[in-house]
Amino acid sequence: MGSFDSPDWLSPTTDFTAFPARPGDVVALSAEEFLFDLEMTHDPSIENVCRAFANDANRALVWLIRWRALNTLCARSDVAEWRRGGVSTSRDMCEVAAAFDLNDGWEFDQERFCDAVDRLVHRRALQP
């Protein structure tokens, strides 16, 4: 996986993504497309996001919408507490956020999202 600053990270999609006019229009991204800064220590550069999806501006918008939804969720005190008490990583959360449905407020439903992350972690723990 490359970074946004490397030219080989361009989105592999050949179809154009439809403009997400409603939360239900926000398409899923692959985990590789969505993983950016696993610690989410800074806001992403819009320029770098657009460069990463140079062939599909709507996909860049989808990435930004998903990043905002994840960032908003992580800013909640009860989610921060859940993260401290669990075994999930930022990578786990990003993998779920890449394709998780958004609610009518353009956000991730906290309980459903955290349950999905917990299931992902549990499945990984069962793998040899």
Q: Name the pTM for this structure.
A: 0.81
SS3 25: helix
The alpha carbon torsion through 78, 20, 31, 70 (nearest 10 deg) reads -20
**Average model confidence (pLDDT) for the chain?**
84
Residue 4 is predicted with a pLDDT of: 44
Residue 3 is predicted with a pLDDT of: 45
83: tokens are 């993260």
- Strand extents, DSSP E, the chain: none
Do the beta carbons of residue 109 and residue 103 sit within 8 Å? yes
| Residue 107 or residue 87, greater confidence | 107
Do the beta carbons of residue 32 and residue 1 sit within 8 Å? yes
Residue 60 is predicted with a pLDDT of: 92
14: tokens are 């050949």
Q: Domain spans of the chain?
A: 7-19+31-126
